[in-house]
Structure 1
């Protein structure tokens, strides 16, 4: 086993929280669409936020190990806040813009009978980038719960 995983429970719990969140998303995908999509296990976006679970689990693990009044916890907490804010703000806006661009591209392509007017664009843009507030909060609760149960 990789030494930093074996020797550092905080890193392990962060990765465990990420894995559980991704597994939940995968299960939701399978139950909703009645098909297995292995890419969904590695994609961002959706319920719950694996980024939030990851950073909250690490912050809580640091709090339990170093103390909640420590500078280490303060740093981890602030990084977790930035990651979650970014997931709901910038990344979500980028996903919404990708969705609008893909719709516009489809509409323009339908209006023109000939070949794709934007061949240089390649594949459609990924739309599932960010999160709704409930997805971020669910991920945060998951990460906190994993660390709480472990410590």
Structure 2
């Protein structure tokens, strides 16, 4: 259930961090749930361009176009799955944050409330594998 979501999230998050400045939160080492959710709040605010508390379909389409542009500029192939993403509905902040809660629970394999180095390494390896598979 989360696998396609993870790829899109990773791509969106990476491009967002590469193209816009977010308040600094450690990207290395252990990530607590509080840190993860703080970053989620920042990502939501960054994507909600008009500040109305909803990420609209238009805002999602603009973000996807920006990510594709960044990937192309970096010489990276845009995975077919990503190119085929078509936002269908708006997302409220409550919906966005609920998804982030579920995502954290999924990524925190041992359930200790922290995404540790070994969990991060596994996530990175899985994402790199999926990106490579999607590019073929």
TM-score of the two chains, using structure 2 as the length reference: 0.29
TM-score of the two chains, using structure 1 as the length reference: 0.27
Flag the structure with higher strand content.
2
Flag the structure with higher helix content.
1
